[in-house]
Amino acid sequence: MIKKGKILEFRGSWGSGLGTLFIEDSETGEVEAVLCENGPTVRALEAAFGNVITPGHSACGSGHKGQEIFWSVDDLGLLSGFTPVEQAYDDS
């Protein structure tokens, strides 16, 4: 199932490889803690929005906060992918 929501925060642990993307669901208003792979998710957030990766290879930037996305999870509940809403509607 594909959902729409707003990114509130990303928390990750470089050592464990795990991260959590906190997303406010646009339909329910509930905040979902979506588990994800730390490195790939940070790189995807940086590519989509910029200002995410800061010196020391940390994800302390705020470029992703407040951004609307469509996202989905796999059968285990891990983030399988996301698309910025503005890109989903881009006709160019």
Instruction: Print pLDDT tens along the chain (92 aa).
Output: 999 999 999 998 777 889 999 999 999 999 999 999 998 999 999 999 998 888 777 777 888 999 999 999 999 999 999 999 988 876 65
Number of domains in the chain: 1
- Domain span holding position 34: 3-88
Which are the contacts of 83, defined by CB distance < 8 A and separation ≥ 6? 69, 70, 71
Question: Do the beta carbons of residue 24 and residue 1 sit within 8 Å?
Answer: no
Kindly report the pTM of this predicted structure.
0.90
- Picking from 71, 62, 85, the residue whose alpha carbon sits closest to that of residue 33 is 71
Could you tell me the CATH number of the domain that includes residue 19?
2.40.50
pLDDT at position 62, please? 86
pLDDT at position 8, please? 97
